Structure 1
Amino acid sequence: MKASNKTSTTFLISRIDAIGDVVLTLPLAGWLKQHVPGARVLFLGRTYTKPVVACCRHVDAFLNWDEMQLLSQPEKIKLLKDQQVDSIIHVFPNKQIALLARQAGIKQRIGTRNRWFHLFTVNTLVALSRRHSPYHESQLNFALLQPLGLERIPALAEVITYLDFSVVPPLPEKWQAYLQTDKPQIILHPKSKGSAREWGLTHFGELARQLHAQGWQVLISGSKPEQELLQEWLRENQAYITDFTGKLNLTEFISLIKVCTGLVGASTGPLHLAASLGVPALGLYPPIKPMHPGRWAPLGPHADYLVMPKNCEDCRKVPGSCICIQQITVAQVLAKINKWPSSELISD
């Protein structure tokens, strides 16, 4: 790849959606740092994704879109001008942000051709259609770097090299006290806030019981609303699990993931976080396009997934349900887990 010939060095990556989407966007920051000498990389995101971006060594500063929306339009424009942004990359198209970038006089404004408002707010258009593309989500993001010198979409193995989630704070002692030091810890994240097809609580309960019997400490994670949904299931399985649902903020949860042996979950933010942190991460996916792992597989040196080898078009018609993902067996999941680097720590 050729480095960009631009003299400008300050880039703003704009992605104001969910955690998993942000994780799969952050390799762009690594590419910019490696291929554009002296690059300064800013990230525009939402409040709840700030702890995720803070883990990435390649991002120099975070701009909080939620806080910016409280400002007047002249104040927003001044804020962007003060950052001396030379190039904005609209990874997640947003009309208000696109207009703001133009009004702030950002010299290069990169966005896709298939958003009508980009026709009058963006001056560097990229042909990109996500819906029917064979590429992974992270690779699709890289298409937006073509105006900056990217000559080809990198393979997933190369994308992983641009990840660097090394800025992780230590887990607070109050949460360390919950961990059994004589056992490896595994996190099970059974819910998805409706963003993904789920394996089911019956499967996760059986997996927890078998992992506990093998010598694992099984940690259950989830948000505060998910804790309320899981109350009965948590009571039924309390002998086999350590309940972390609704207890940790996102920074603490990231720190917990980092000290654990691995994580199992659906295609959600926690799965992508674990993979990017270099922790073994096993995703359970439906064979439905574009939800399948070809588009949303976790990225990391120890990331893996399970999906049934079939085309699940019938399940597409039933929102929130997928018979095919539930055909993944507990034995299949255990077989994957038992190949993890730290599985040898388990006593027979």
Structure 2
Amino acid sequence: MPIIDNKEIKHVLISRIDAIGDVVLQLPTCIYLKQLYPDVIISFLGRSYTQPIIEACKAVDHFMNYDDLKPLSKKEIAALFKEKNIDAIVHEFPKSQIAEAAKKAGIKIRIGATSKIHHLFNCNKLIRLNRAESNLHEAQQDIYMCGPLGVTHIPTIGTIARYYKDNFKPLVALPAQFKNLLTDDKFNLIVHSKSGGNGREWDMDNFTALINGLPLDKFRVFITGSFKEHQLFKTWIPQLPPSVIDLSGKMDLDEFIAFIYHADGLLASGTGPLHVAAASGIYTLGLFPVSKSINATRWAPLGIRAEHLESDSDDLSSISVDMVKKKIECWLQ
């Protein structure tokens, strides 16, 4: 069954102007739409800092930068939408400014969730969805939002995990200075210990014990993080074996995405790089609390080699070093 019965729908805009992990999990929607209706143009409204993620997805035809639109009036944004000949917009991340502009532009199909009051006035296709209360994975919720476009089937988690294969590849080549750090004779493991405050974090003592306990004749370990986190790591890194390579604060997002793509595995809590790793098809292990709306049910990494551990509480304290070590050492087999 074609995804869009209305043959006049030739250009769909997916609006998702939030963080890296959210955007990575939005990409299967674009892939699904493109597979089912290949002639439809798919544009993605995102932020400057997520542009490398969006452009890494083959199913997205055009990137639109919300950071360029944000200072404009709703009338000016509406004019841009008209110029692009957008026929349908899916408000995956609600923003009243965009919703009002889409209505002003006369976009034929305007999809939004009933949980946002402004959608009641600006959208003509309303979806009953409370993301925090839903038992669907975030990526499934994203696809569910496309119901008015003719989507009648929500793929399984396993199916969605396979969508990234052959559809996600960074456009920017990995600079030699970083590529040369990767080795063929060891497993290149990225440890991304912090989450920028966006999720529960495993205790740093656990990361220390894990890294010190890994067979470093078989693993090459890389520490990654932001520049701010690099400052925090100055007292932590000396506790680790000398062979561990600290790359925190040394790569921009384009380079980091490419580095993840070329590595062999990544360990992190529920944060953006975790989902980039899963989409890249490398071994991925995510650590999650059991808490509703931030647990693995909604946010587990999706990829052909992605897996997760979930605690039995609101923090990650019940996830032991041995549990994580066992998972990671299995990646050598």
State the TM-score, normalizing by the size of structure 2: 0.95
Structure 2 residue matching 1:326: 3-state secondary structure: coil
Aligned length: 330
Structure 1 spans left out of the alignment, 5+ residues: 316-321
1:330 aligns with 2:331: no
* Greater alpha carbon shift after TM alignment, 85-94 vs 202-211: 202-211
Question: What is the letter of the counterpart of residue 3 of structure 1?
Answer: I
Question: What is the letter of the counterpart of residue 229 of structure 2?
Answer: E
The structure 2 residue matched to 1:213, chosen from 200, 213, 216, is 216
Structure 2: distance between partners of 1:176 and 1:194: 29
What is the aligned partner in structure 1 of residue 272 from structure 2? 269
**Distance verdict in 2 for CA 1:214–1:327, change over 3 Å:** farther
1:241 aligns with 2:244: yes
Identity %: 40
1:192 aligns with 2:183: no
Structure 2 spans left out of the alignment, 5+ residues: none
Map Cα deviations across residues 247-298 of structure 1 (whole Å, 9 max, x no partner). 1011101111111110000000000000011111000111111211111100
State the TM-score, normalizing by the size of structure 1: 0.91
Structure 2: distance between partners of 1:196 and 1:212: 29
Structure 2: distance between partners of 1:298 and 1:113: 27
What is the aligned partner in structure 2 of residue 318 from structure 1? none
Structure 1 residue matching 2:64: 3-state secondary structure: strand
Structure 1: distance between partners of 2:162 and 2:88: 23
* Greater alpha carbon shift after TM alignment, 67-76 vs 98-107: 67-76
What is the aligned partner in structure 1 of residue 330 from structure 2? 339
Structure 2: distance between partners of 1:182 and 1:338: 15
Deviation at 1:50, TM superposition (A): 0.5
Question: What is the letter of the counterpart of residue 280 of structure 1?
Answer: Y
What is the aligned partner in structure 2 of residue 130 from structure 1? 131
Query: What are the equivalent positions in structure 2 for 1:69-88 lying under 5 Å apart?
Result: 69-88=70-89
Structure 1 residue matching 2:330: 3-state secondary structure: coil
The answer to whether the 8 Å contact 1:209/1:240 transfers is no
Query: What are the equivalent positions in structure 2 for 1:114-263 lying under 5 Å apart?
Result: 114-163=115-164, 164-237=167-240, 239-263=242-266
Structure 1 residue matching 2:228: 3-state secondary structure: helix
Structure 1: distance between partners of 2:73 and 2:216: 58
**Distance verdict in 2 for CA 1:181–1:34, change over 3 Å:** closer
What is the aligned partner in structure 1 of residue 4 from structure 2? 4
**Distance verdict in 2 for CA 1:96–1:219, change over 3 Å:** same
Question: What is the letter of the counterpart of residue 113 of structure 2?
Answer: T
The answer to whether the 8 Å contact 1:57/1:167 transfers is no
Structure 1 residue matching 2:90: 3-state secondary structure: strand
Structure 2: distance between partners of 1:224 and 1:326: 26
**Distance verdict in 2 for CA 1:210–1:238, change over 3 Å:** closer
Structure 2: distance between partners of 1:154 and 1:148: 16
* Greater alpha carbon shift after TM alignment, 9-18 vs 176-185: 176-185
Over the residues paired in the alignment, what is the CA RMSD in angstroms? Answer: 1.6
